[in-house]
Structure 1
Amino acid sequence: MTTRTFEDLYIAGCAAWLPPAVPVPETIARRTEAVSVTVAGAEDSGPGMAARAARAALRRAGCGAADVGLLLHAALYDQGHELWGSASYVQSLALPGARPACPALEVRQVSNGGMAALELASAYLRAGTDRPAALLTAGDAYRPPGFDRWHSDPGTVYADGGAALVLSRAGGFARLRSLVTCSEPRLEGMHRGDRPFGRAGTVDLDACKRQFLRRVGRPAAVAWVASGQRRALTGAVEAAGIGLGEVDRFVLPHLGGRRLEAAYFLPFGIDPERTTWGWSRGVGHLGAGDQFAGLARLVEAKEVAPGELVLLVGVGAGFTWSAAVVEIVTVPRWVD
């Protein structure tokens, strides 16, 4: 487990670019409690949507290309081409003309990719660089035949879209107070199942889960998941010097309602009204981008005020869990 506390790192800007939403089919809505999901057009790619969000986040941060010393692009699903650098594509669209160009790297930590990027960028900026900011992006488009947004992962509806966040030493509207990431590799088989290595047909995570549970047993798997989640959440709030009850708003992964209840609402006593669930159930799971998009939504909707604390929570197959305490310090200029 890594635990970091900060005094001088800020979120200078964040944004999401989401395509239009479509209604969730009735049978899926009953299972997930989702009402709609954003679906990209044929011309929209995951990295392309990430770049749109990145440009908006940079504008909001008042940050130029010359200020960015690192770009990290997180993705869960196929980015559109083989043997190709999607992070460099995002860089070419979001930071054109920057010379010398900063490192642009891809982060593959599935649904926890955005938070993993935040972890890496915080260490990079604290190590001392000549540029004060890092640009973090996420973007995915879940298309058949490889992925079925309705059925590949029952309990969660997958959404297309991009999100971005600018982390900076030079100030911002929110201060990053703490960040914890922990891992449990005994759970990696839950998303692999018994399949041999190599490409398969349509992703079927439910089948992988059933195969994994037959091997290790449900009690062990449930205990490992619960332990990892608790270590991340309690570790982040303790590192920030607060209690969980002092958190004003929670940005949770955009899972289905039943999964959120089982993983967060009941175990931690989190009131759904203090989360982004009311909004995220109309968007869907953005893969690695839930936390960046959720924070942007809270700020845009004026649902947070200076002095309030926000807990960003992420989880990804593997498993890894991350949680970060963010303190709102000012109302940013880009809020109407």
Structure 2
Amino acid sequence: MRVDDLYLTGIGSEVGALTPVAVPLAAGEFTTAEADRTGQLSTAVAALPGPELAVRAGREALRQAETVTGEPVWPMLCLHAGIYHAGIDFWHAASFVRDRLGVGAGPGLTLELGAMSNSVVASLDVAASVLRGRPDHDAALITAGDRFGAPGFPHWNTDTGIVYGDAGSAVVLSRRPGLARVRAIASYTDPSLEGLQRGDEPFRTASVTAHRSLDIRRRKRQWLGRHGGPAHVDSRNADGVTAVVKTALSDVGLDLPDIAKICAPHYGRRLVETQILRPLGISESRTMTGLGLRVGHLGASDQIVALDHLLRTGEAGPGEHVLLLGIGVGMTWTAVVLQVEPVPATA
């Protein structure tokens, strides 16, 4: 979908304090083999719960949007995401975030969008479609926040090839010019892969994570043993990655060499190679993997945290194109092509 008439007018991120890899190695929570395989140097660990991290990021995004546009931005559509427990059962985190940000009561929807690690990038697809079809909607606010940790989800050893980190992120999507123009968006779904994270797990009436940690590694082994091993997932993932990237780029007449940086999921180094670099035929230097190896996989926040870093450091300048690539278990893929505008990210 070619867009061109929507902009990211505000971006915010809140990342936990970094814990170096030496800490889990000394505690026996991470092995030297895993450290070598992932290349992980540290990960972000926060004291605040995910929704509070999202609120902090949201405040910065709304502040930037007001500075850039010259007036307060009131988002009629508020979307929120988290891939792990928000801290309270039977509760609506999206409304908490909206209320704490002072958006308050009014027309429009406040929703939680569940595309796992693709939630924020996929939300840009949803929000863009709403704004383009609803002239009465001027802006949308997208937030995400996750805090992992024991007992349910240890940062370092819950998953294979991925170390998780705590962060919140937020972005304001608007018709008014801002930090980056949205050029194109494309999404793709392959639900046949949902079992990769389910394995042989039975359906339960309550979560087990209050008493023991999730074992995503075991679930993956169970499912892969019946479905052709990792090569099957690698092939289907390559189909999804290439489909969304090629579609989004072709919609605006661009090719991969035209992209200054790619903000993709913060996997460990080996998974980045098999799931992102190899399908796209690019080198690690084209991505934000270096940042990911310091902060970890931040749930749904990887791409916005990386984009915020690029804009604040000037690594992506006016006129340059940046690609956001979201990959969510289930599985879904979304690509968003952005063009940086001549507005400082610290505005």
TM value normalised by structure 1 = 0.93
Distance verdict in 2 for CA 1:333–1:185, change over 3 Å: closer
Q: Secondary structure at the match of 1:241?
A: coil
Q: String of CA shifts for 1:227-272, please: whole Å, max 9, x gaps.
A: 1121122121112211111111111111111111112223323222
Distance verdict in 2 for CA 1:333–1:299, change over 3 Å: closer
Matched residues in 2 for 1:324 and 1:302: separation? 20
The one-letter amino acid of 1:46's match is: G
Q: CA deviation at 1:141?
A: 0.4
Q: Secondary structure at the match of 2:186?
A: strand
Matched residues in 2 for 1:316 and 1:57: separation? 24
1:326 aligns with 2:323: no
Q: Show the counterpart of 1:110.
A: 116
1:90-239 correspondence to structure 2 within 5 Å: 90-96=97-103, 98-100=104-106, 102-198=108-204, 199-200=207-208, 201-218=212-229, 219-239=231-251
The one-letter amino acid of 2:328's match is: G
Q: CA deviation at 1:95?
A: 2.5
1:55 aligns with 2:67: no
Distance verdict in 2 for CA 1:147–1:99, change over 3 Å: closer
Q: String of CA shifts for 1:300-322, please: whole Å, max 9, x gaps.
A: 11101111010100101100011
Q: Is the Cα–Cα contact under 8 Å of residues 111 and 315 in structure 1 kept in the other structure?
A: yes
1:245 aligns with 2:242: no
Matched residues in 2 for 1:36 and 1:187: separation? 30
Gaps of 5+ in 2: 26-31
Number of residue equivalences: 329
Q: Secondary structure at the match of 1:202?
A: coil
Q: Is the Cα–Cα contact under 8 Å of residues 13 and 58 in structure 1 kept in the other structure?
A: yes
The one-letter amino acid of 1:204's match is: D
Gaps of 5+ in 1: none
Deviates most, 274-283 or 84-93: 274-283
Matched residues in 1 for 2:107 and 2:57: separation? 19
Q: Secondary structure at the match of 1:67?
A: coil
Q: Kindly, what percent of the aligned residue pairs are identical?
A: 39
Matched residues in 1 for 2:202 and 2:295: separation? 33
Q: Show the counterpart of 1:29.
A: 35
The one-letter amino acid of 1:105's match is: L
The one-letter amino acid of 2:102's match is: L
TM value normalised by structure 2 = 0.91
Q: Secondary structure at the match of 2:279?
A: helix
Q: Is the Cα–Cα contact under 8 Å of residues 133 and 166 in structure 1 kept in the other structure?
A: yes
Q: Show the counterpart of 2:308.
A: 296
Distance verdict in 2 for CA 1:91–1:216, change over 3 Å: same
Q: String of CA shifts for 1:85-107, please: whole Å, max 9, x gaps.
A: 000000111135x4426421101
Deviates most, 195-204 or 166-175: 195-204
Matched residues in 2 for 1:87 and 1:99: separation? 13
Off by >4 Å, runs of 4+ in structure 1: 63-66
